[in-house]
A and B are shown apart, each in its own frame.
Chain A
Amino acid sequence: MKKLLLASAAIALVTGAARAEDVKIGIILGFTGPLESITPAMGAGAEMAIAEVAAAGGIIDGKKPVAVRGDSTCVDAAAATAAATRMVTSDGIAAFMGADCSGVTGAILQNVARPNGVAMISPSATSPALSTAEDDGLFFRTAPSDARQGVVMAEILGERGIKSVALTYTNNDYGKGLADSFQAAYEAAGGKVTLSAAHEDGKGDYSAEVGALAAAGGDILVVAGYVDQGGSGMIRAALDAGAFTTFMLPDGMVGAALEEKFGKELNGSFGQHPGTDSNGAALFQAAAKAAGFDGTGAFAPESYDAAALIMMAMHAAGSTNSKDWAPKVMDLANAPGEVILPGELAKALQLIKEGKDIDYVGASAVELIGAGESAGNYREIEFADGKITTKSFR
């Protein structure tokens, strides 16, 4: 038995030594839990970037990037912390691509990333609280903070000259967070929210909620809900009662189901959701299709960008130590420099090696602001003749 242990330990050492030139990148996402339907495409997106760089000869003089997956569960901070700790101590990863949900992302940042000095880039944590969290310069995200959408909404309303709105939100963290950030931005811009009322998802009848909002008044109704849930119920009840005829629809409400359910009844309503007009998204989707996964999945482009940025920054710093490469992330993501789109990672590595500046645009038009979070590109939409049409990008 002792011999066997010794032998296996020796083998482990040998194989470990053989892989010393590999750089391990930890992909920590909620592969189980509430986001399990979208995380496979996110993981695949990140792994596609890693494979692309590996095929191009790796980073920093031929170090080959390798993906290691971990399960954040999205909701269980203790399980996420344990998984992340294991990835750092036993897998020896050099960076985190993750986590996905805001809660576990904060837990991993404070309990694992900071104590061990490992930087992380999250593709999908959108909580405004992460903008101000202590991070020792180790935390970035390629997703915009929800606070950003609130500001965009206030801008759109300002441009349309709408001065007072009624607001309803789905009664959960997403709805409440978005409603609060919108209300703050809108009131700062001089608008008036007559009533901010929650609605519960999954009820049969929303006429009472609409009655209260109608009594409060307002030019339009802002519905920060879900298109497959109470959000549509609120719109139905408001239209039926003749209480509101125009609606503002944030990202949770923009979906094909809306055209199906309401069609021309929503003519003149408008809204916004994350989206870009750069052809990076199209390039990414084509590449994803070739790789056999759905590139249109939520946050899959952001995952590709997060993994790509990690490797670029390591390459530029010439080190896999987070202390060295984390400060490079902002430079690489923003102008000036040569624009890099998905599928051009080999070119980017070459340019960096030659000492030239790059502007990583990627699949989600990355532009990092503030403490290292995506500026957030939104597609403003408007209902015309029963269809969702693109009005502009901002």
Chain B
Amino acid sequence: MDLLNAFVALANFVLIPGIAYGSQLALGALGVTLVYGILRFSNFAHGDTMAFGTMVVILLTWGLQVLGVSFGPLPTALLALPLGIAITALVMLGTDRVVYRYYRMKKADPIIVVMASLGVMFIMNGIVRLIIGPDDQNFADGARFVINAADWRAMTGLSEALTLRTSTVITIVTAGLSVWALFWFLNKTRTGKSMRAFSDNEDLALLSGINPERVVRVTWIIVAALTVIAGTLYGLDKSFKPFTYFQLLLPFFAAAIVGGLGNPLGAIAGGFVIAFSEVGVTYAWKKVLGHALPDALEPEGLVQLLSTDYKFAVSFAILLIVLLFKPTGLFQGKSV
């Protein structure tokens, strides 16, 4: 029995990856949920817009690297982030102008707008592949580890290693800051309040003199910021590949729906629920249990509930369960 080693193994393989993945999902789900709450449609183009924004950041990062600019131990991509967000925001506003605005004026059914977003998705998909190609891109630089396995073992003398990567720390810190900024904006500023009013009751908001086009514009800019940050963090922490970003659409929607579509707090909670379910269900608990239980009870098998191949199935399953039993989500969002 060795609880300390058990905890370190748990932290290394479940807690830290789960928190990092959960933060990335939460940021992505926030974007989905804001579009749903204020613009009132499910944005299928979200994953590919994220790929687009990350691609812009990657190209800018490469530019900075060529110029010899670096950010010390932190990745250069963080410096490229603001400009990347600005460019992506312009692209999103442009998309809204040429695609979504028309349907908004016509007061089209949400399902029609969803189909339009599907078209946007395919176009974004193609643009990203044309510019940067379908392959993996690695753009992380700076120090790789805050704590690496060898140092940890030398420092503590434990048999289990704990590693903490720079990108994980950046992910958690940046996600925290972004969420704080978003909530401050929504709750304290006049524009934020008008957005919430518009989301709660469109007609009433229009009657009280809120300019709907302005609300829509601000929403797209915020969504662009959240999306590019989520994409860049995911790319730094894992790797950038357009197809992977497209696939993230499913966990994003699962997270947003589990939390309650349209509810920002729910999106964050949903992100972590999905992340920890995916990691927890596919993790082989043998090592942790081996350390935590008395020797006599040490498991022989791997104690893995599902093979890692079924990771996406976990998102699907949670999505189905929530839709069946609590369609409005954990945090009382709009029913789907």
Residues of A within 8 A of B (CB): 171, 195, 197-200, 202-205, 207-209, 211-212, 214-217, 233, 240-243, 245
Contact = CB atoms under 8 A, between A and B. Distances in A.
A217 B234 CA distance: 28
B148 A212 contact: no
27 contacts: A195-B284, A197-B308, A198-B309, A199-B308, A200-B309, A202-B244, A204-B238, A205-B239, A207-B17, A209-B308, A211-B14, A211-B17, A211-B279, A212-B283, A212-B284, A212-B308, A215-B13, A215-B285, A215-B288, A215-B302, A215-B303, A216-B284, A217-B287, A240-B165, A241-B12, A242-B161, A245-B149
A202 B12 contact: no
Given A215-B288, A240-B165, 12 more contacts: A171-B309, A197-B308, A202-B243, A204-B239, A204-B241, A208-B279, A209-B308, A212-B284, A214-B13, A216-B284, A241-B12, A245-B149
Most buried by A among B165, B285, B304: B304
B6 to A, nearest CB: 12
Interface of B: 12-14, 17, 21, 136, 144, 148-150, 152, 161-163, 165, 234, 238-241, 243-244, 278-279, 282-288, 302-304, 307-309, 311
Contacts of A245: 149
Contact of B163 (A171, A198, A199, A240): A240
Given A200-B309, A204-B234, A241-B13, A216 B165 contact: no
B244 A211 contact: no
Nearest to B283: A211
Contacts of A195: 284, 302
B311 A242 contact: no
B225 to A, nearest CB: 22
Given A212-B308, A242-B152, A203 B285 contact: no
Contacts of A214: 13, 287
Nearest to B17: A207
Contacts of A215: 13, 283-288, 302-304
B163 A241 contact: yes
A203 B234 CA distance: 12
Contact of A233 (B144, B148, B239, B279): B239
B148 A242 contact: yes
A216 B300 CA distance: 10
A205 B278 CA distance: 12
A202 B241 CA distance: 8
A212 B244 contact: no
A216 B301 CA distance: 8
A221 to B, nearest CB: 14
Contacts of B12: 241-242
B73 to A, nearest CB: 17
Nearest to A239: B149
A203 B283 contact: no
Given A204-B241, A242-B152, A211 B161 contact: no
A42 to B, nearest CB: 26
Contacts of A197: 307-308
Nearest to A211: B13
B189 to A, nearest CB: 35
Contacts of B287: 214-215, 217
Contacts of B150: 242
Nearest to B299: A215
Contacts of A212: 282-284, 302, 304, 307-308
Contacts of A243: 161
Interface centre among A199, A200, A212, A245 (most CB of B within 10 A): A212
Contacts of B239: 204-205, 233
A151 B14 CA distance: 36
Nearest to A215: B284
B238 A205 contact: yes
A245 B149 CA distance: 10
Contacts of B152: 242
A93 to B, nearest CB: 40
Contacts of A171: 309
Contacts of A217: 287
Contacts of A205: 21, 238-239
Nearest to B290: A215
B300 to A, nearest CB: 11
A205 B239 CA distance: 7
Nearest to B168: A240
A197 B284 CA distance: 12
A211 B284 contact: yes
Nearest to B237: A205
Contacts of A200: 309
Contacts of B309: 171, 198, 200
A208 B282 contact: yes
A208 B311 contact: yes
A209 B152 CA distance: 22
Contacts of B278: 208
A242 B147 CA distance: 10
Contacts of A207: 13, 17
Nearest to B279: A208
A171 B307 CA distance: 13
B1 to A, nearest CB: 18
B283 A216 contact: no
Contacts of B234: 204
Given A241-B13, A242-B12, A204 B285 contact: no
A208 B149 contact: no
Contacts of B136: 202
Contacts of A199: 308
Contacts of A241: 12-13, 149, 161, 163
Contacts of A203: 244
A176 to B, nearest CB: 14
Contacts of A198: 309
Contacts of A208: 17, 278-279, 282-283, 308, 311
6 shortest interchain CB distances as A-B pairs: A242-B149, A242-B161, A215-B284, A204-B244, A212-B284, A204-B238
A197 B283 CA distance: 13
A323 to B, nearest CB: 50
A241 B17 CA distance: 10
